[in-house]
Amino acid sequence: MLFWTLSLALSALVAFALVRALFRGGAGRSEAEADLQVYRDQLKEVGRDLARGVIAAAEAERARIEISRRLLEADRAGKGPAAAGRGSPVVPAVLVAAAVAGALALYRLTGAPGYPDLPIAGRIARAEALREDRPSQAEAESKAAATLPGRPAPDAQYLDLVGRLRKAVADRPDDMTGQRLLARNEAALGNFAAAIAAQRRVIELSGTGVSAGDYAVLADDMILAAGGYVSPEAEDALAHALRLDPANGTARFYMGLMWAQTGRPDEAFRLWRGLLEDGPDEAPWMPMIRSQIALLAEAAGVPYTPPPAPAPAPAPGVAPGPGAADIEAAADMTPEERRQMIRGMVDRLSDRLASEGGPAEDWTRLVTALGVLGETGRAKAAYASAREALAGDEAALAALRTAAEQAGVAE
């Protein structure tokens, strides 16, 4: 209440000063009064010129008569001080009141009444305190357990396979491959505690050969288990990942999320801007970054225009087909030329899947296409890579096996 009392008092003083200024000096004088003052000054000037002998008495008299005539005409036209006055006070008073009311309304909309000014150093200190005092991973998991959405019941055959995997890993706890598979499949089932334990074992077994990706996977499991919250333990895993590989996309994204959650939009913007501009556009974090980067930039006080979004990618399972120009060119090709064109499209699909991965439909299409082209060796290698990439997805593996049988490369 004290803030608004002082604000209204200061506004009243400012309004009084503005209104007073409008009725003093040139702002309050009418145009007619200014004209009359000019005529008076001219009369005085004629008298001074006559006294100095600059003009003759007869010429001075004619000038006085002419100036006096204009002065009388202005007075008869109602332009004298008595008629013009100082003008109506209504319009300036309304303008000043509107300005003051607008300023108060704008502050109420965008300001923070009741809060003291907080310097940058104070804001950073407050954010650091928030970061230090935030909940642990165990607290976050306990809270998120009640809000995380349920998952559809997995296939019984898949559950049986995971059960056998658990038993095998329990019998051979030092089996790195088994621990990796267990971590991946437990996470797929939503058993994040088991996934985290298995991934920690992977890191332990890796020793000095541990990778940034191993720590990023651990952080990812932790954050998913906590419902999207980045705990101190997850932050520690992210820090390890970034020390090993500063360019790791998963770690950069989640570290930016952590800064955003702890009151440091400047740090979050720095990390997410780099991710947005570095790409790739197909990265899973891109949609969230694009939806939030403008707000982060505003909160960080940085003028920023995000790069334009790329053209929509084909829907999953729908490979980009040849364009009109390709179809027109193919009509004039020989059979061998058409075969080479198809081979080029298959090679591009193979390169993309090898470097970036892709959905099950693209792997199936690649195996089928290589079989049609008679490249059995490449089809068999693609089938092996696909099985590794799609491990745990039984439906995708079944479709992939059908394609491999048609290509003659199924085991």
Tokens of 40: 């008076």
Residue 214 lies in a domain: no
Distance CA 81, CA 36 (A): 9
Residue 282 falls inside a structural domain? no
Q: Are 183 and 199 in contact (CB under 8 A)?
A: yes
Please tell me the predicted confidence (pLDDT) of residue 114. Answer: 56
Q: Count of alpha carbons within 13 Å of 286, Cβ hemisphere only?
A: 16
Tell whether pTM > 0.85.
Answer: no
Q: Six-digit token pair at 63?
A: 């000038």
pLDDT at 25: 47
Domain-located, residue 57:
yes
Which 8-state DSSP code applies to residue 264? -
pLDDT of res. 48: 83
Q: Tell me how far apart the alpha carbons of residues 127 and 121 are, in angstroms, rounded to a whole number.
A: 10
Specify the number of domains making up the chain.
Answer: 2
Residue 59 domain-assigned?
yes
Model pLDDT, residue 318: 46
Q: Which residue has the tokens 């491959």?
A: 177
- Count of beta carbons in the 10 Å neighbourhood of residue 274: 13
Please tell me the total number of residues recorded for the chain in this structure: 411
Helix or strand (DSSP H, E) at 370: helix 360-372
Give the residue from 93, 108, 123 where a domain finishes: 108
Please give the pLDDT value at position 203: 94
Helix (H) or strand (E) holding 115: none
How many whole angstroms separate alpha carbon 26 and alpha carbon 6? Answer: 32
Residue 13, domain extent: 2-108
Between CA 358 and CA 227 the distance in angstroms is 26
Low-confidence ranges of the chain (pLDDT < 70): 1-8, 15, 17-34, 74-93, 96, 104, 107-124, 148-151, 310-342, 372-373, 406, 411
Q: State which of 90, 108, 126 marks the end of a domain.
A: 108
Going from the C-alpha of 44 to that of each of 63, 67, 73, 230, 251, the distances in angstroms are: 11, 11, 19, 85, 86
Taking only the tens place, the pLDDT of each residue in 37-90 is 777 788 888 788 778 877 887 887 887 888 788 777 766 665 444 444 445 566
**Residue 227 domain flag:** no
Whether the CB-CB separation of 166 and 181 falls below 8 Å is answered with no
Q: How far apart are the first and last CA of the chain?
A: 80
Domain boundary among 42, 75, 108: 108
Find all residues with CB under 8 Å of 180, minimum gap 6, and list them.
Answer: 198, 202
- The tokens for 195 are 């996934």
